[in-house]
Every structure is written in structure tokens, then in C-alpha cells.
Amino acid sequence: MIRGSYESLIFEFRGYKVMIDIDLATLYETETKVLKQQVKRNINRFPPDFMFELTKEETVQLVTNCDRLSSLKHSSVNPMVFTEQGVAMLSSVLRSNKAIEMNIEIMRAFARYRAHLLDNKDISKKLGELDDKINRVFKYLLDRIQGLNRTNRMMSAIKLDIRNNARVITRGKSH
């Protein structure tokens, strides 16, 4: 049985947040093969936005990013993945108390996952605003430094003119 945070069992593929068939089978205390059979018998309940099969490349990506799924590496069958709606539909085809109980927990996990995403978006927005402020301050400081450099160059030129004029005046008095 998988213990801990169910949010860690949620992955993203093709723009959907999904759970893998092997994890769901473990949670429902059934075999992955049985879960897949029930889905195939009721395939009309699982449109592509509820469930889809990963491609070989997506499976490799999943195994690469998640060591605990290394058993999928040599599997001849690609895993099925289920969106939140697909997971909800699973309880109707598995028809066990365990499936219903786990679906409730998984729905809560998806809700927590969405809340985390919203928090991250809010943090990202605030960081973006802070970055904009820092950029404006940095630009202001650069402009000021460039202004000071222009002033210093002008002051140096004026000093040079004064020195040159002083030499000319001094030479003129000595003749």
C-alpha cells in the first residue's frame, strides 16, 4: 500500500494532471491487470480527457523521473493514466468499498494539488512584480551612474581647460 501524500502520485502529461494505473491499482488493492480489464470493458466511460495510454517516450520520461516506477521500464504494455475525472469514473467500474474510499481521498489530493498550484502562481506573480521593481531601481541607478560619469567627464574637461588657460595666462605674463 502506498502511504503518505497522494499528491506525490500526480504527474503531468499532455497538459493533464494524471495518476498512473499501477499506483491506482495499489491504492484500490487490486491488480493493475484487473483495473485495466475493467476500464477496457467500460471504455465508453473513459474519453481521452478522462484516461489515455502513455506513449513509449512518455513512459521512458516517467520512469526517468520516478525511480519507484522502474518496473515499467521493461514492460511491453504502456501504462494508462487517469485525470481527476477518470479517477472518479473508476469507482463506478470497480464497484468496491475500497475503490469508493480511495476515490474520496484521491479527489481530496487533486484539490490540494490545485491549491498548491494556485499558491505557486500567486508567489510567481509576486516574484514577477518584485523583479519589475528591482529592474526599475537598477535602471534608475544605472541612469544616475551614467549621469555622474558624464558630469565627471565634463568636470575633467573643464579642469583641463582651466589648466590650459592658466598655462596660457602664465606664459603670457612671463613674456
| pLDDT over 80 (residue 138) | no
* Residue keyed to cell 613674456: 175
Q: Which three cell numbers stand for residue 48?
A: 481521452
Q: What average pLDDT is seen over the chain?
A: 82
Contact 2, 26 (CB under 8 A): yes
Q: What is the pLDDT of residue 5?
A: 67
Q: How far apart are CA 122 and CA 97, in angstroms?
A: 38
Cut 0.85: pTM above it: no
Burial call 107-126: b when 16+ CB within 10 Å, e when fewer: eebbeebeeeeeeeeeeeee
| pLDDT over 50 (residue 73) | yes
Q: What is the pLDDT of residue 175?
A: 61
Q: Which three cell numbers stand for residue 121?
A: 502562481
Q: Which three cell numbers stand for residue 40?
A: 477496457
| pLDDT over 60 (residue 4) | no
Q: How far apart are CA 163 and CA 160, in angstroms?
A: 5
| pLDDT over 60 (residue 113) | yes
Question: Across residues 147-175, what is the average pLDDT?
Answer: 78
Q: How far apart are CA 119 and CA 125, in angstroms?
A: 10
